[in-house]
Chains A and B, each alone.
Chain A
Amino acid sequence: MTSTLVDTSLRYRRRKLFSNIMVGAATAAALGMMAILALILGQVFLEGGRYLNLDFFTQRPQPLGQEGGGMANAIVGSLIVLAIAAVLALPVGFFTGIYLSEYASDRFAGFVRFVVETMAGVPSIVVGIFAYVLIVRQTGTFSAIAGGFALAVIMIPIFARAAEEALATVPFSLREGAMALGIPSWRIVLRIVVPTAGPGIVTAAMLALARAGGETAPLIMTALGNRFWHDGLMDPIATLPVQIWTYATGPYDEWHQQAWAGSLVLVGVTVGIIGFVRLVYRGTQFRQL
Chain B
Amino acid sequence: MTQHDTSTATKEREVSGTSATEHPAVQASSPGQSHVAHVESTAPGSLRVDDLEAYYGSFRAVSPVSMAIEGRKVTAIIGPSGCGKSTFIRCLNRMHETARGAHIRGHIYLDGEDINGPKVDPVVIRRKIGMVFQKPNPFPTMSIYDNVAAGLKINGIKSKERSMDEIVEQALRQAALWDEVKDKLKQAGTALSGGQQQRLCIARALAVEPEVLLMDEPCSALDPIATLAIEDLIRQLAPQVTIVIVTHNMQQASRVSDRTAFFMMNAQRSGELVEYDTTAKVFTNPADKRTDDYVTGRFG
Contact = CB atoms under 8 A, between A and B. Distances in A.
Interface of A: 101-106, 109, 168, 171-185, 187, 191-192, 195-196, 198, 287, 289
B141 interface: yes
A67 B150 CA distance: 63
Contact of B154 (A191, A198, A289): A191
A274 B3 CA distance: 34
Residue with the greatest number of chain A CB neighbours at <10 A, chosen from B123, B130, B133, B140: B140
A102 B150 contact: no
Nearest to B134: A173
B150 A104 contact: no
Contact of A179 (B1, B98, B201): B98
B154 A183 contact: yes
Contacts of A181: 126-127, 130, 150-151, 154-155, 204-205, 208
Contacts of A106: 2, 100
A105 B151 contact: no
A106 B3 CA distance: 11
B87 to A, nearest CB: 14
B292 interface: no
B155 A185 contact: no
A176 B123 contact: no
Interface in B42-99: 93, 95, 98
Interface of B: 1-3, 5, 93, 95, 98, 100, 123-128, 130-133, 135-141, 150-151, 154-155, 190, 201, 204-205, 208
B150 A185 contact: no
Contact of A198 (B5, B131, B141, B151): B141
B4 to A, nearest CB: 8
Contact of B135 (A102, A109, A175, A289): A289
B154 A101 contact: no
Given A171-B137, A182-B130, 9 more contacts: A105-B2, A175-B3, A179-B126, A181-B208, A182-B151, A192-B150, A196-B139, A196-B140, A289-B136
A289 B1 contact: no
6 closest cross-chain pairs (CB), A and B: A182-B127, A181-B151, A180-B131, A182-B126, A173-B137, A177-B137
B5 A185 contact: yes
A174 B150 CA distance: 12
Contacts of A101: 1
Contact of A174 (B95, B126, B140): B140
A102 B123 contact: no
Nearest to B153: A191
B254 to A, nearest CB: 27
Contacts of A104: 2
